[in-house]
Amino acid sequence: MNWVTFVTRSLWGLWAWLSFTLACVFSLIVALIVPGPHQRQRLVTHASRIIFVLSGVKVSVRGIDNLPLGSCVVVANHASYVDGILLKGYLPSRFNFVIKGEMRNIPVVHFLLHRSGAKFVERKEAIGSSRDARKLVKAAQGGESLGFFPEGTFILEPGVGRFRPGAFVAALKGEMPIVPIAISGSRRMLPSGKLLPRPSDLVIDILPAIMPGDASFESSRKLAEASRQQILAALDEPDLLTDEG
């Protein structure tokens, strides 16, 4: 990489962070003063999208007609911190995303996410994990549309790993369709361990819904694997479970 490319990428990365900061400030104000949850969610959705607009990032959304008009559960591969902001900005505002419980320990972040409709799930403590799982099932049964990154975290290595069961249990209990989503380009934009993003086109592939009532998908495990295989088929990334046998 020559110095011109390095400087250009660095300046773009700083501008992207500034766009993110401005959107966060706007969203925090919204969270503080806007009373209605649905209106807050719509405004935060607009703020999330404007980050990519201001940064000049090309975002392509394919298969939007695959999203049911009613309640559903979306599950996506996880490659970068960009993923959550991207889906918040480009999916309908009715989706409430499930966030790792550690975010509760950061007061300002927790306040903003909670007021924006996010749900939290404890990953390390058994009692808290069971409590949060019950809340997710109750939300699904109540007709809320939920968004999950079922891998739980992301790593530098390209590929799709094991899916945790929470999203699929919630879908079964709530009798809601599962919509797999494949995100491409976010790992290149902001990979694990990097602080400064770099320009990259982003693609959101919304794949055909899977109906939990189908006899082929009567268990959360089968639902998870069917969703994972759909996402793998849409990505140019390997299956990280292949080496596990």
Please report, for the domain that includes residue 162, its CATH number.
3.40.1130.10
| In-domain check, residue 224 | yes
81, amino acid identity: Y
| In-domain check, residue 63 | yes
Is residue 115's pLDDT more than 80? yes
Going by their DSSP bridges, the two strands 73-76 and 145-148 should be labelled as parallel
- pLDDT tens, position by position, 28-52: 999 999 998 999 999 999 999 999 9
- pLDDT tens, position by position, 196-243: 999 999 999 999 999 876 656 678 888 999 999 999 999 999 999 985
| In-domain check, residue 4 | no
| In-domain check, residue 26 | no
Residue 241 parent element (H or E): none
| In-domain check, residue 33 | no
Return the SS3 of 239.
strand
| In-domain check, residue 18 | no
201 touches 57 (CB < 8 A): yes
pTM of the model: 0.92
Residue 157 parent element (H or E): none
Q: What is the CA radius of gyration of the chain?
A: 18
- pLDDT tens, position by position, 68-95: 988 899 999 999 999 999 999 999 999 9
Range(s) of the domain holding residue 201: 58-244
Instruction: Give the model's pLDDT for residue 1.
Output: 65
**SS3 track for 23-73:** HHHHHHHHHHHCCCHHHHHHHHHHHHHHHHHHCCCCEEEECHHHCCCCCCE
| In-domain check, residue 31 | no
| In-domain check, residue 98 | yes
- pLDDT tens, position by position, 119-140: 888 766 555 566 777 788 788 7
160 touches 232 (CB < 8 A): yes
Q: How many CB atoms lie within 10 A of CB 25?
A: 11
Mean pLDDT of 145-149: 92
Q: What are phi and psi of 212, to 5 degrees?
A: -60, -25
Report the alpha-carbon distance of residue 78 to residue 82 in Å, rounded: 9
Return the SS3 of 121.
strand
Residue 174 parent element (H or E): helix 166-174
CB proximity list for 2: less than 8 A, separation 6 or greater: none
Domain count, the chain: 1
| CA dihedral (104, 106, 111, 116) positive or negative | negative
- pLDDT tens, position by position, 149-195: 999 888 889 999 999 988 888 888 888 899 999 999 999 999 999 99
Return the SS3 of 113.
helix
